[in-house]
């Protein structure tokens, strides 16, 4: 063997060794077979396989994947055909089962999703289908997760993306929605008019109440003013009477002190009554004794004139 052949041999060995050194990246797993049979699963890190004996049969990504399926025709319980498309979120949890469990796993999941969706929608009516997305999602996730578990696949979520009913059903639903909006608009308008009427009535009521309160307050003020005037008039009369009584008492004291005669007393009494009247009264009531005394004085005057 010449030197060049030896160098070529050494280089070939080095290249063969280097080609059998494998580095598994993060979130991936390698399925290694030896002589056609499963040997092991390589996780993240540096690995070496025997040349010409071992081989990497499959490279599996352990990241979460998304499958967006095209719309599937389904029939509801009340015989309405509609189109429904779903989105499936899944993750490979066992690379070995995923590699050897089922042929073409993505197609298997799509087919299983379509059949499961048809079974679920077949038990629901149209209205229930349109309003039960959460129920449909949950049922599909449970069924798909149980079915794909032997394949090393974990179904995380299932979402119904679109529900497309037939055109005539859509038109009927639009008409129904339009009628519902008009009904709500009519109700809102009626409630607005009702509220407005109530507010107007409340305003009139408050106005009448305020007017009544104002009239009541005015009547109270008038009554108090009248009462005050009456009290003042009564106080004036009482004061006048008190003055008369004081004057009479003073006159009596003076008469007692001076020992006046009955005639003088009668004349002073007349003068006191004249002052009490003060020219305001139209009538003066004179006691009978004073009247007799006046008659006596008149008689005396006539005799003296004769």
Output the 3-class SS for 88-147.
EEEEECCHHHHHHHCCCHHHHHHHHHHHHHHHHHCCCCHHHHHHCHHHHHHHHHHHHHHH
Q: Name the one residue in this structure whose structure tokens are 């598994």.
A: 24
68: left (phi over 0), alpha (psi -120 to 50) or beta: beta
Q: Is the pTM of this model over 0.75?
A: no
Instruction: Please list, in sequence order, all residues whose beta carbon lies within 8 angstroms of the beta carbon of residue 138, skipping any fewer than 6 positions away.
Output: none
Q: Mean pLDDT for each consecutive 10-residue tract of the chain (306 residues)?
A: 74 82 90 91 90 89 90 87 90 92 89 91 85 90 93 92 80 75 83 85 85 85 82 74 74 60 59 55 51 51 49
Q: Give the pLDDT confidence score for residue 300 in this predicted structure.
A: 44
User: So what's the pLDDT on residue 193?
Assistant: 84
Show the domains of the chain with their CATH numbers.
3-61 (no CATH), 64-165 (3.30.479.30), 261-306 (no CATH)
Separation of CA 217 from chain center? 43
Q: Degrees (nearest 5) of the Cα angle 114, 115, 116? A: 95
Neighbours of 176 (CB within 10 A): 10
In this prediction, residue 90 carries a pLDDT of 94
Q: What whole-number distance in Å separates Cα of residue 72 and Cα of residue 83?
A: 5
Directed axis angle between helix 167-258 and helix 262-277, to 10°?
Answer: 160
The rounded distance, in Å, linking the Cα atoms of 39 and 218 is: 110
Q: Which of 161, 112, 163, 165 is nearest to 140 (CA)?
A: 112
pLDDT of residue 269: 60
pLDDT at 213: 86
At residue 304, the pLDDT reads 47
**Which segments of 259-287 does DSSP mark as H helices, in order?**
262-277
What's the pLDDT at 36? 85
Q: Treating both helix axes as pointing N-terminal to C-terminal, what angle do 133-148 and 105-121 enclose, rounded to 10 degrees?
A: 140
Q: Identify which of 217, 221, 198, 197 has the alpha carbon closest to the alpha carbon of residue 209.
A: 217
């Amino acid at each position: 063997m010449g030197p060049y052949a030896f160098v070529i041999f050494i280089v070939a060995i080095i290249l063969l060794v280097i080609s059998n050194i494998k580095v598994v990246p993060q979130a991936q797993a390698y399925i290694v077979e030896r002589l056609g049979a499963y040997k092991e699963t390589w996780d993240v890190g540096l690995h070496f396989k025997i040349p010409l004996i071992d081989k990497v049969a499959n490279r599996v990504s352990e990241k979460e994947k998304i499958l967006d399926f095209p719309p599937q025709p389904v029939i509801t319980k009340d015989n309405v055909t509609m189109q429904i498309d779903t989105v499936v979120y899944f993750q490979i949890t066992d690379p070995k089962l995923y590699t050897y469990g089922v042929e073409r796993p993505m197609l298997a999941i799509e087919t299983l999703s379509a059949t499961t969706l048809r079974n679920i929608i077949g038990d629901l009516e149209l209205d229930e289908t349109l309003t039960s997305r959460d129920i449909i999602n949950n049922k599909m996730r449970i069924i798909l997760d149980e079915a794909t578990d032997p394949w090393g696949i974990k179904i995380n979520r299932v979402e119904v993306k679109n529900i497309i009913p037939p055109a005539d059903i859509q038109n009927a639903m639009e008409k129904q929605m339009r009628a519902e909006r008009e009904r709500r608009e009519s109700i809102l308008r009626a409630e607005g008019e009702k509220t407005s009427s109530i507010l107007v009535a409340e305003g009139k009521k408050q106005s009448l109440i305020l007017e009544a309160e104002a009239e009541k307050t005015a009547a109270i003020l008038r009554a108090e003013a009248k009462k005050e005037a009456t009290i003042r008039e009564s106080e004036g009369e009482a004061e006048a009477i008190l003055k008369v009584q004081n004057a009479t008492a003073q006159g009596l004291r003076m008469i007692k002190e001076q020992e006046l005669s009955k005639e003088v007393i009668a004349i002073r009494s007349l003068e006191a009554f004249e002052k009490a009247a003060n020219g305001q009264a139209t009538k003066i009531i004179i006691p009978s004794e004073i009247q007799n005394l006046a008659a006596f004085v008149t008689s005396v005057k006539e005799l003296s004139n004769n």
